[in-house]
Amino acid sequence: MDKIVINGGTPLTGTVEISGAKNAALPVLFGTILTADRCVIENVPEILDVDLTLEILEKMGAKVRRDHTTVEIDTRDILPCRSPYELVSRMRGSTYLIGAELGRFKQAKVGMTGGCNFGIRPIDQHVKGFKALGATVDTRGGYVEAFADELVGCEVYFDKVSVGATVNVILASVFAKGTTVLESAAREPHIVDLANFLNACGANITGAGTDTIKIKGVEKLHGCTYAIIPDMIEAGTFMFAAAATGGNVKINNVIPKHLDSISAKLSEMGVYVEELDDAIIVRRDGDMKNINVKTRPYPGFPTDMQPQMTALLCFAKGDSKVIEGVWDNRFRYVEELRKTGAYIDVAGETAIIHGGAAELVGAPMRSVDLRAGAAMVIMGLAVNGRTEIVDIHTIERGYDNIVKKLRGLGADIRKVSF
Ligand code: UD1
């Protein structure tokens, strides 16, 4: 087993390159199933969730060749209902197999998926969309099974803005007869990336990035070469690490527009943020001000930056409030952060961070999920003393070479086997 050991207190300085977005790469990789052809996907992050996705696709019959961040994938020989339960159940993103299998084969059987545990993660909105397209769906027995004689374009009004449901229903409707209209669709950049990829393969999708998405059914898709967008959450995590340590970091390969809600909060705290064409500079010299934040679907402040924000606010002066507006149980990590001496109260979906109350020190912590682990890394970098984080596979699920990248910024951080 591995752990991350940090001797904190060093301001981060230098330049870091951001990898491709996890939350775009997974839908696109599963989306290659629809092409029944050879695709070359570039800028794919080297993370455990991608390893697992490719392993699942191979087990289903895909041919995969990977050279660092470029993945060549041929899905011609894929068969439906073949994904191994023990693999898909480890990762939430494998839910996208349902839409992709249903879209291509009109049948799907996929194990109930796992991933980060921050409350109930229902799929009722996914199922609602599949049924509206004409599928019969059964969610009993640990699997989601779906089949249809024919998929027909329809209107789907989502009751809740859901990234997963929007992705899944897009995947399922690409070949449906006629036009499918998704209302109250998620607007995240990774939804746009998936639509751009599918359109590059011959699909006809418009409106991605707005809350109304139209999918005109096409007969077939073909393979293409496509590059994944930069990871806004990885970029945001480095921005917060720079601010928390009082550093000066240039973050390369980003789309600054995607980071607007994150940059705005940093500016509000008094941190210097400069946007360049495809880079962002974050620098902090003085104190940080306390602020309030509520997570919301894009373009709101992302729930996937919530734990990192809580960690950062421990270093601001005064009381800050963080309200979780997406998930019902995403503060489990707070107990770990408190080991540093951080003074954080949690009541329901609200955390009050009493910043600057005492000097915080390094501590042993256990990463409870991907973004929680990132928050612990930020904490460890910013406080004096030694921090050891275990269960780091949760972090490596979604951060590409985080230890190496932070070392490049001058951090005293290393991965140690034990
Ligand atoms: C995705 C991301 C995750 C991120 C989340 C919100 C992946 C693999 N995961 O998760 O990192 O935290 O978006 O940006 O891309 N909901 C329902 N019914 C449904 C589906 C969702 O009620 O059928 C609710 C959920 O309980 C939650 C909210 O909608 O409260 C948002 O969920 P959703 O956007 O679907 O998150 P995921 O796609 O699972």
User: Is residue 35 lining ligand 1, measured as CB closer than 6 Å?
Assistant: no
pLDDT range class, residue 114, cuts 50, 70, 90: low
Q: What is the pLDDT of residues 36-81, one digit of tens each?
A: 999 999 999 999 999 999 999 999 999 999 999 999 999 999 999 9
Instruction: Please compute the mean of the pLDDT values over residues 102-117 and round it to a whole number.
Output: 86
Q: Which atom of ligand 1 is nearest to the CA of 128?
A: 23
Residue 401 has pLDDT above 90, yes or no: yes
Query: Is 381:411 a contact under the CB 8 Å cutoff?
Result: yes
Mutate to test the pocket of ligand 1, among 88, 296, 326 (most ligand atoms within 8 A of CB): 326
Q: Kindly state the percentage of the chain with pLDDT values over 90.
A: 95
Q: Report phi then psi at 239, rounded to 5.
A: -65, -45
- Span 342-383, pLDDT tens digits: 999 999 999 999 998 789 999 999 999 999 999 999 999 999
Q: What residues are annotated to the active site? A: 116
Specify the pLDDT at position 115.
Answer: 60
Beta-ladder partners of 351: 322, 346
pLDDT of residue 141: 87
- CA–centroid distance, 161 to ligand 1, in Å, is 8
Q: What is the pLDDT of residue 372?
A: 98
User: Would the CB of 33 count as within 6 Å of ligand 1?
Assistant: no
What pLDDT is stored for residue 117 in this prediction?
66
Query: How far is CA 194 from each of CA 40, 71, 155, 215, 252, rounded to the nearest angstrom?
Result: 14, 16, 20, 12, 22
Site to substitute for ligand 1 among 160, 211, 324, most atoms within 8 A of C-beta: 160
Three-state SS sequence of the chain = CEEEEEEECCCCEEEEECCECHHHHHHHHHHHHHHCCEEEEECCCCCHHHHHHHHHHHHCCCEEEEECCEEEEECCCCCCCCCCHHHHCCCHHHHHHHHHHHHHHCEEEEECCCCCCCCCCCCHHHHHHHHHCCCEEECCCCEEEEECCCCECCEEECCCCCHHHHHHHHHHHCCCECEEEEECCCCCHHHHHHHHHHHHCCCEEECECECEEEEECCCCCCCCEEECCECHHHHHHHHHHHHHCCCEEEEECCCHHHHHHHHHHHHHCCCEEEECCCEEEEECCCCEECCEEEECCCCCECHHHHHHHHHHHCCEEEEEEEECCCCCCCCCCHHHHHHHCCCEEEECCEEEEEECCCCCECCEEECCCHHHHHHHHHHHHHCEEEEEEECCHHHHCCCCCHHHHHHHCCCEEEEEEC
Residue 127 to residue 108: CA distance in whole angstroms: 12
Query: Is the entire prediction scored with pTM above 0.95?
Result: yes
Q: What is the pLDDT of residue 266?
A: 98
Please tell me the distance between residue 198's alpha carbon and the centre of ligand 1 in angstroms.
21
Ligand 1 centroid – CA 162 distance (Å): 5
- Find out whether the beta carbon of 80 lies less than 6 Å from any atom of ligand 1: no
From 163, 308, 331, mutation site for ligand 1 pocket: most ligand atoms within 8 A of C-beta? 163
Per-chain mean pLDDT for the chain = 96
Substitution site in 121, 139, 394 for ligand 1 pocket (most atoms within 8 Å of beta carbon) = 121
- Does the CB atom of residue 109 touch ligand 1 within 6 A? no
Q: Are 112 and 151 a contacting pair, CB within 8 Å?
A: no
Contact 155, 142 (CB under 8 A): no
Q: Evaluate if residue 120 carries a pLDDT over 90.
A: no
Provide the pLDDT for residue 112: 86
Atom of ligand 1 nearest to the CA of 164: 38
Q: What is the pLDDT of residue 143?
A: 92
Residue 142 pLDDT greater than 90, yes or no:
no
- Encode pLDDT of 239-287 as tens digits: 999 999 999 999 999 999 999 999 999 999 999 999 999 999 999 999 9
Judge if the beta carbon of residue 164 lies within 6 A of ligand 1.
yes
Atom 12 in ligand 1: which residue has the minimum CA distance?
304
Nearest CA to ligand 1 atom 32: 162
Q: Is 326 in the pocket of ligand 1 (CB under 6 A)?
A: yes
Residue closest via CA to ligand 1's atom 4 equals: 304
Centroid of ligand 1 to alpha carbon of 303 (angstroms): 10
- Is the model's pLDDT at 25 over the cut of 70? yes
Closest C-alpha to 221, from 29, 57, 32, 79: 32
Confidence at 118, pLDDT banded by 50, 70, 90 = low
Q: How confident is the model at residue 116 (pLDDT cuts 50, 70, 90)?
A: low
Look at residue 18 and tell me whether its pLDDT is greater than 90.
yes
- Assign 99 a pLDDT band (cuts: 50, 70, 90): very high
Q: In Å, what is the CA distance from 296 to each residue of 49, 229, 309?
A: 24, 21, 14
Cβ–Cβ under 8 Å, residues 211 and 185? yes
Q: Whose CA is nearest to atom 24 of ligand 1?
A: 162
Q: Which atom of ligand 1 is nearest to the CA of 95?
A: 8
Ligand 1 centroid–CA 409 distance in Å is: 32
Rounded distance between C-alpha atoms, residue 234 and residue 280, angstroms? 13
Please give the Cα distance from 81 to 144 (Å, whole number).
10
Instruction: Look at residues 341, 280, 269, 346 and name the one whose alpha carbon lies nearest to residue 307.
Output: 346
CA 341–ligand 1 middle distance (angstroms): 32
